[in-house]
A and B are shown apart, each in its own frame.
Chain A
Amino acid sequence: MFSNQKEANSLRGIKTARDEKSINEAARNGFFPLLKRVEKSESIKSKYAVLQNKKTGEIEVIGDFRGGFCSRDYEMVIDFSFYYPHNFSSPFAAYLIPQDIKVGERVYIEDLIEDFIGVRWNQGDTYRLESCEAVWNGKDFDIQYDANQCADFIG
């Protein structure tokens, strides 16, 4: 994701505000809120299926094709289905632009507003990229998005 790891370590972090109150608070503190619609991408999708115990009625939700759902006691009452797994409370959000940002400055956006695919899994699921490097072009950020993500998670 980073073009250069040593360089990335010193990048300025850009915050995101996701409601009216925090956006206005940031504006009063000298940031310019760059407003964007929160729009879900149809490319982001997770799958689930629901198993139900035939005797007790209890359910189990699974998200993985690999084994574990072939039990005599359980039947699949909702077959594997894909859905958009995120719920953002506000339909808009803003990147908080520092006053001294320079055109061409490379930054690190900690909470992306836009939907980008961060991880593709070979079972068909595509997971949302949470944060990313970006370059300020004077009006907006050019997201330095690397589409060649693997199925690893770190943290």
Chain B
Amino acid sequence: MKFNPNTKQLFTNEGDLIKRLHCPHGVNWKDLYHSDAIKKYCHFCGKSIIDTQNLDDDAVIAIVIQDEGVCLKLDLNDPTIRIINHNVF
């Protein structure tokens, strides 16, 4: 995957937009509690945030297709993510 931290847009490796990350509550991952191995429960929205660490394009796309409003957590140092700072797509 490719991620632009300036626009918060997440793309596939081919440049197709998966989703734009936006949290209106300014939630911090470290402040939340795990609900299972890759999820943490968000008290604001009443749903779980999914950690995309080590997930590939297909896995993340499947998650977003299943629920367009899903919340994701990205780590810039995740080896499956490449950072693009310029709005190239």
A positions within 8 Å CB-CB of B: 1-2, 5-6, 8-9, 13, 46-48, 60-64, 66, 68, 85-86, 108, 110, 119, 121-123, 125, 127-128, 131-133, 150-155
Contacts and interface: CB of A to CB of B under 8 A. Distances in A.
Interface of B: 3-6, 8, 20-31, 43-44, 49, 71-77, 79, 82-86, 88
A9 B20 CA distance: 22
A42 B85 CA distance: 16
B6 A85 contact: yes
B31 A5 contact: yes
B8 A153 contact: yes
Contacts, number: 106
A155 B23 contact: yes
A64 B6 contact: no
B76 A63 contact: no
Contacts of A128: 6
Contact of B84 (A63, A110, A121): A63
